[in-house]
Amino acid sequence: MAAAMHTPVPDIPGTVIEGVMKHGLMQHLNQLLGLDPSFSRFPGSQPVSFVSRSLKLLETRNFWVCEKSDGVRVMMLIAWNSAENRQQVFLIDRKNTYKEVENLEFPHWNPPSGIKSPCGPSVIDGELVCDIDRKTGEQRLRLYAFDCIVYSNTNLMKSSLQSRYGRLKSWLLEPFHKNLREQTHPAQQPFEIVCKTMELAEGIEAVVKDHIPQLEHGHDGLIFTCAETGYVIGTDEMILKWKPPLENSIDFKLELRFPPTAKDANMPDYTVKPMFVLLTNMGRNYDFFDTMVVTDAEWEAIKESGVQWDERIVECHWDPEYDSWRFMRFRDDKTDGNHWSVVQKIIESIRDGVELETLIARAPIIYARRKERAAMEQQKPRYPAPPPPMAMGGPPIPQRGAPQGSYPLPNIQGGYGMSVGGYGPVGGGGLRR
């Protein structure tokens, strides 16, 4: 697999939503996801690092695999503004910033009335990336959607990924693109929306040799997701993030500690290269973890650039040549560095990581075990299917342009939602010989 390639981290387009309107949207999102109204974090699922025992997991459950895109993780909320009788679309990042994006229209895949209607409130998970045309160098913003966890006010989180992915493609994106094609003069889209390509887990080699060479954006590994399980908010042990062991990275908070001047011990000497201290997120505060090596030449370049480094979130990897952590890039898309518990798992993945060759060599076994499970499933006794549930779109839309699932509240601007009225040893970095 080619070394990790990075492309510019895109800025999320749109208008920032704040105040009462944001609070109403947050409550609306929480209600759609079945969360407590006070939940205020980014609700996306998070992977765990791939280690050697993860190979056995790929053999015992059905997993899908795709490339790990280098972009900005976002959720897309399609809401219905009952006060203005229109659909609105918002992007939510890991800092829980809400931005409204214009000119996106999502029709219902199968309106009960038979007349074209907008779909109801929906939630999509994806990655916003900056694609760069290989021939022209032109940059293009694309949202690579990979999951649909709410469709038209129906919560799909308990459904399997296989089911959710099918609805994403057939119920949300196909009608969206068909609607665009039918418009004589379509409005300028803030970004393109595509469905991220997935392969069965045994298709690792196809992803590496066929998909990744065709990418127009950065990538830094693989993501394995269980196709049989539901959507988990927060850390999901059934989503595995694979990177080459020594390319595994950790997000720290960086602190620059300058030595004192010769004349005044209380005054830092900003002309001297400081100590680059990496701090770990302990939940309520940050604690010392290790230091990062910056060469003299790199320090001179930092000074000349005028870019602020202190108090920023940085992504680092372990470099055996320096026997230390090394800077990769800033992670301004994150409010905090990785939590201590996540750091420990990533360090385990560096120590107990799996090389790409081992993954590819295991693919035939993963395939054989999947076929065995499928054969056993075919031998199980069949029972009459229960009556079909109500269509995923929910009850009939009462009128064109007003999907069910809007939350009409005259006292809330926009009318989206409900009423508003020590972790173990530190230091040393855990990897030095």
**Number of Cβ atoms within 10 Å of the Cβ of 206:** 15
Q: Does 68 participate in catalysis according to the annotation?
A: yes
Sequence letter at residue 220? D
Which residues lie across from 203 on neighbouring strands?
Answer: none
DSSP annotation string for 214-273: G-SS-EEEEEEEESSS---SEEEEEEEEE--GGG-EEEEEEEEEPPBPSS-TTSB-TTS-
Q: Which of 22, 68, 196, 334 is catalytic?
A: 68
49's CB contacts (< 8 A; 6+ apart) are: 240, 241, 243, 248, 345, 346, 348, 349
By C-alpha distance, which of 255, 277, 246 is closest to 356? 246
CA angle 350, 354, 357 (to 5 degrees): 140
Q: Are 188 and 47 in contact (CB under 8 A)?
A: no
* Cβ burial, residue 73 (10 Å; 0-12/13-18/19+): middle
Q: How far apart are alpha carbons 347 and 280 in whole angstroms?
A: 13
Q: How far apart are alpha carbons 260 and 87 in whole angstroms?
A: 58
Active site amino acids:
68
